[in-house]
Amino acid sequence: MPDLGLDILFKGNNFMRLLEGLFVAFKISMISVAISIPLGLVVGTLMTLNNKILKAVFNIYVNIVRIMPQLVLLYIVYFGASRLLDINVSGEVAAVIVFTFWGTAEMGDLVRGAMISIPKHQYESAESLGLVKSQVFAYVIIPQMVRRLIPLSINLITRMIKTTSLVLMIGVVEVLKVAQQIIEANRVSSPNGAFGVYLVVFILYFLVCWSISLFAKYLEKKWR
């Protein structure tokens, strides 16, 4: 059997370090989604008002998010903004800013879709029971929207976790960066280490994203 270089993982606390790196990736995406959801709710609600100016602004925004590679956005915020505005953002904060910028656009679009998909009659039957507008939203519309949105936003989380593999480019030590460090440090003693370590990174990403999407499927079924 060829040497896969798996032995490095058991040297020192290498495996723990990988898990810590994974946690950093997880943390960045979770914080970004947590901020994106309320912002997306606001943006999506504004979108349903059918205001032409708001629509145009949102269109430009969404297209910027779609067209720009996330890496370019990360560079703009991390290198560009710190020079221009003379503020020193850490890599992690820059990553959260970029991911939130991205997540808010996607959530806004999802919220808009979810709001449109709730039939007019749900509003009317709630109003005819004497609920005031704020109660209609609080007790009828938003709970139904959230049920539609949660599975979708969980999918956004998994995509963000995958994309965190880019943030090593702005100096954040996440799982992939840790993997590189481990491989570098053991270049002489186990030259085949790259395969084994990246294989483990692959499995880690897989386990996290797979279990999250299983959870999303479960919720989708439960609330159908």
Q: How far is the CB of 132 from another protein (least distance, A)?
A: 5
Question: Which listed residue (139, 202, 206, 210) binds another protein by CB under 8 A?
Answer: 139
Among positions 23, 79, 206, 223, the unique one binding another protein when judged by CB under 8 A: 223
Are the CB atoms for 81 and 87 separated by under 8 Å? yes
Which CB atom, from 131 or from 199, has the smaller least distance to another protein?
A: 131
Task: Label residue 148 exposed, middle or buried (CB < 10 Å: 0-12, 13-18, 19+).
Answer: middle
How far is 42 from 107, CA to CA, in rounded Å? 10
| Tokens coding 43 | 């943006």
Which residues are CB-contacts of 145 (< 8 A; sequence separation ≥ 6)? 111, 114, 115, 118
Residue 165 near residue 30 (C-beta atoms within 8 A):
no
List the interface residues with another protein, window 77-136 (CB under 8 A).
Answer: 119, 121-122, 124-132, 135
Residue with smaller CB distance to another protein, 2 or 130: 130
Which C-beta is closer to another protein: that of 96 or that of 141?
141
In angstroms, what is the minimal distance from the CB of 144 to another protein? 5
Degrees (nearest 5) of the Cα angle 206, 211, 215? 150
Binding pattern for the stretch 141-160 against another protein, x by CB under 8 A and - elsewhere: --xx--x-------------
Q: How many residues bind another protein (CB under 8 A)?
A: 20
Positions in the binding site for another protein (CB under 8 A): 119, 121-122, 124-132, 135, 139-140, 143-144, 147, 223-224
